[in-house]
Structure 1
């Protein structure tokens, strides 16, 4: 695939201060919040089931050095590609790996935790969204003590805050209820969005101004879910929940942006993007849209990708790496859509436009 034509020079740290010798459009740091679609290794440090970890083969088979880092991918994930296209050598490190707060100065921090959600009841033992925000507040406090409030606040005002979440909340709700009651479904979605908006307000009050938000995916089409469906088709009820979340969340975030001075955002519609790819998969290099590359059983969706699982050789032609997660190829395409996409995919502006706004 052709590289993006967008690049920024990463800032450097001199004498424990942000000395920025770069273009005025720079993003000095990226702070990442969310679930397994953005986790780069936080769950390696947690006492969670193996299904919430990926620091073992065959994960990372296409990562430099073929290292299983804790990413749920055969290689890089979306935030890796976004970081690199914004001029960073690599994406922010997992928060739980950091031994010294000064390590956060060069790239930012990744707080994402596989299995987590917006709700504290989602993903027992993982870093739920409230915990991720608590760790961010702690990081800001430590940096402020080192550098002073003005330096830190000025950085946060132009930093990128990246969110991908709610997927596990909806999967947990569907697993518990079957999403059979439309009234209860609407109430659940409304409450979930309310909780998410509360998190966004909290981090806004801590200094964030530029928000990149990934909408929920068509969860019912993951190989694990297809495997559960006797017809082999997608689970429509779960996809409808995803559609409802996006339909409610984006207008509410738009409303929030009108209420909070300086709040700017880019909302990526994953369902629209997936439909765009599925309509002409060959255009994007995909041949297999339903089965996972690595796993076992029907659609390779009956078991997760472990060192004992079989895996495909033509990984760049698969949309799914394992029973739930994309391949590196789809992560790359997601990053490209988020950075370059039109208003049909990314509203009201894409990431390129977001990062250059003052």
Structure 2
């Protein structure tokens, strides 16, 4: 008697069935992450980029399970990790460049790349936003080929598209031109927002409907820039440029949501969140607001966190892990604000409200 065999269609249906079971209790079936080092979970491990755009070495990951330096710019998890776990996932979506089979992409993918920006001129050798969006387009094609276009289209409308970007574009512009002038700054910000909205529009055309967008923060206050200021304070001209981006981007995204059918979004106001934390740091468990935990020189901000660098033992009390990036504690708090914050922090709705909308 010949052995009983199943058709390929059976296995596709079975795979979808188990996928449906695994995500039934989740708020969203998948998370697709885009952006820079604040969301990178390992893509840059596979790229030929400067060491400053990599973090797959100690002391990074010292508080990650197994003390593994995964490529996250953190002593442990980052914001997208905490958001994913809160939404019912065991872990955050895998880095796109690590994926070996299509099935791994069903629960989402991270396209984020440290050093990258919205503009293709930002972060040479990294995955700029256009490349990340193109990779998503290929991801959709691969998923549709395996599971069927109709099923994948429905899947994507329920999925979360998470963004944290523009930080490096603003850094690069400031580094190149300094404070520039009002007219040049306004034109730069307009061009940057135009480009960003173009990427969001393309993703909407590809099926995205739920967008979580992190506004740029107080970039001039990172330890690296404090270390370059003779007075040790923030570089306020850079903070103002970041504020200008948010002031233009948020209403433009609101306008876009009125133009594109089904477009829903949550915009996280990073600068306001930081102001709240720094006003009462003890409330949130922070003792050190200016110096990095790991690095070297003034504010531990003159050198990168490398295996030879010194690092602190009270990491939970530091806002900054290295010369540019938050500690796991601040990433966690950022995730909480995005998930549950009121309208002064996330507008027009928070992430928890966004994911349950149909």
Q: Give the TM-score normalised by structure 1.
A: 0.95
Is the Cα–Cα contact under 8 Å of residues 278 and 289 in structure 1 kept in the other structure? Answer: yes
SS at match of 1:305: coil
Matches within 5 A, 1:210-249: 210-249=210-249
Is the Cα–Cα contact under 8 Å of residues 25 and 356 in structure 1 kept in the other structure? Answer: no
Q: Deviations over 1:160-210 (max 9, x none)?
A: 000000000000000000023111001100110000000000000000000
Q: Tell me, yes or no, if structure 1 residue 156 matches structure 2 residue 156.
A: yes
Matches within 5 A, 1:6-21: 15-17=14-16, 19-21=19-21
Matches within 5 A, 1:12-51: 15-17=14-16, 19-21=19-21, 26-51=27-52
Q: Tell me, yes or no, if structure 1 residue 170 matches structure 2 residue 140.
A: no
**Counterpart residue number, 1:9:** none
CA distance in 2, matches of 1:72, 1:181: 33
Q: Tell me, yes or no, if structure 1 residue 58 matches structure 2 residue 62.
A: no
**Counterpart residue number, 2:353:** 353
Number of equivalences: 345
Q: Deviations over 1:2-50 (max 9, x none)?
A: xxxxxxxxxxx96332652465873000000000000000000000000
Is the Cα–Cα contact under 8 Å of residues 113 and 128 in structure 2 kept in the other structure? Answer: yes
Is the Cα–Cα contact under 8 Å of residues 37 and 325 in structure 1 kept in the other structure? Answer: yes
CA distance in 1, matches of 2:109, 2:134: 13
CA distance in 2, matches of 1:180, 1:113: 27
Is the Cα–Cα contact under 8 Å of residues 73 and 327 in structure 1 kept in the other structure? Answer: yes
What is the root-mean-square deviation of aligned Cα atoms in Å? Answer: 1.1
TM superposition outliers: structure 1 runs of 4+ over 3 Å: 21-25
**Structure 1 range deviating more: 176-185 or 279-288:** 176-185
Is the Cα–Cα contact under 8 Å of residues 26 and 88 in structure 2 kept in the other structure? Answer: no
For structure 2, the residue ranges without an aligned partner over 5 or more in a row are 1-11
SS at match of 1:258: helix
Q: Give the TM-score normalised by structure 2.
A: 0.95
CA distance in 2, matches of 1:158, 1:147: 16
SS at match of 2:74: coil
Cα 1:259/1:25, change in 2 over 3 Å? farther
CA distance in 2, matches of 1:26, 1:91: 14
Q: Deviations over 1:210-238 (max 9, x none)?
A: 00000001000000000111100000110
Structure with higher Rg: it is: 2
Is the Cα–Cα contact under 8 Å of residues 26 and 89 in structure 2 kept in the other structure? Answer: no
SS at match of 1:265: strand
CA distance in 2, matches of 1:155, 1:102: 14
**Counterpart residue number, 1:103:** 104
SS at match of 1:233: coil
CA distance in 2, matches of 1:331, 1:24: 25
**Counterpart residue number, 1:4:** none
What is the Cα deviation at residue 148 of structure 1? Answer: 1.0
For structure 1, the residue ranges without an aligned partner over 5 or more in a row are 1-12
**Counterpart residue number, 1:310:** 310
What is the Cα deviation at residue 150 of structure 1? Answer: 0.7
What is the Cα deviation at residue 85 of structure 1? Answer: 0.3
